[in-house]
Structure 1
Amino acid sequence: MRCHSALPLEQAEVAERRRIIDVPSTVFDVIEHRTLAMTCRCGQTHVSSFPSDVTELVQYGPNVRALGVHLTQGQMLPYARAAELIHDVYGLSISPATLLAWPAEARAALQTTADRIADQLHAAPVLNADESGLRVAGKLHWLHIAASDTLTWYGVHAKRGMAAIEAHGILPNRLGVLVHDCWAPYWRLDDSVHALCNAHLLRELVYVKEVTGEQWPESMMQLLLGANRVCTAARLPTAYARCKRCCRLPHCLRRPGA
Structure 2
Amino acid sequence: MAGLEELSREELIALVERLLESNAKLTERVKQLERQVSRDSANSSMPPSADDLPGRATPAAKPAKRADRKRGKQKGAPGSAMSWAVPDTTVPHRPSGNCGCGADLAFAEDLGVERSHQVHDLPEVRLTVWQHDVHRVRCACGTEHLGSLPDEVPDSPLSYGPNLRSLVVYLLVYQHVPVQRCVQLIADLTGGKGPSGGFVHGMLTRCARAVNEVVAVIRSLITMAHVAGFDETTLRVGPAGSRRRYVLSASTETATVYHLGGRDLDSFADAGILPGFAASRCMTATATTFTRAGRT
Q: TM-score category by the smaller chain?
A: 0.5 to 0.7
The question of whether the paired residues in 2 share the 8 Å contact of 1:121 and 1:170 is answered with yes
What TM-score do you get using the length of structure 1 for normalisation?
0.57
The question of whether the paired residues in 2 share the 8 Å contact of 1:35 and 1:50 is answered with yes
**Residues 176-191 of structure 1 aligned to structure 2 (within 5 Å):** 182-183=284-285, 186=288, 191=293
Partner residue, 2:98: none
The question of whether the paired residues in 2 share the 8 Å contact of 1:38 and 1:46 is answered with yes
| Distance change in 2, residues 1:36/1:136 (3 Å) | same
What TM-score do you get using the length of structure 2 for normalisation?
0.51
Say what the alpha-carbon RMSD is for the aligned residues: 3.7
Partner residue, 2:47: none
Inter-partner Cα distance in structure 2 for 1:20 and 1:104: 40
**Does residue 116 in structure 1 map to residue 217 in structure 2?**
yes
Partner residue, 1:232: none
Inter-partner Cα distance in structure 2 for 1:161 and 1:22: 50
**Residues 88-237 of structure 1 aligned to structure 2 (within 5 Å):** 88-92=188-192, 93-137=194-238, 138-157=242-261, 159-174=262-277, 182-183=284-285, 186=288, 191=293
Inter-partner Cα distance in structure 2 for 1:188 and 1:125: 9
The question of whether the paired residues in 1 share the 8 Å contact of 2:134 and 2:146 is answered with yes
| Distance change in 2, residues 1:48/1:126 (3 Å) | same
Deviation at 1:193, TM superposition (A): 7.4
Inter-partner Cα distance in structure 2 for 1:87 and 1:165: 39
Inter-partner Cα distance in structure 2 for 1:124 and 1:29: 48
Aligned residues: 182
Using the aligned pairs only, state the percent identity. 24
Listed one character per residue, the Cα deviations across residues 198-241 of structure 1 (whole Å, up to 9, x for unaligned) are xxxxxxxxxxxxxxxxxxxxxxxxxxxxxxxxxxxxxxxxxxxx
Inter-partner Cα distance in structure 2 for 1:162 and 1:189: 16
Inter-partner Cα distance in structure 2 for 1:190 and 1:152: 16
Partner residue, 1:64: 164
Inter-partner Cα distance in structure 2 for 1:146 and 1:171: 8
Structure with the greater alpha carbon radius of gyration:
2
Unaligned runs of 5+ in 1: 1-5, 195-258
Inter-partner Cα distance in structure 2 for 1:55 and 1:40: 25
The question of whether the paired residues in 1 share the 8 Å contact of 2:247 and 2:259 is answered with yes
Deviation at 1:164, TM superposition (A): 1.4
Inter-partner Cα distance in structure 1 for 2:144 and 2:277: 59
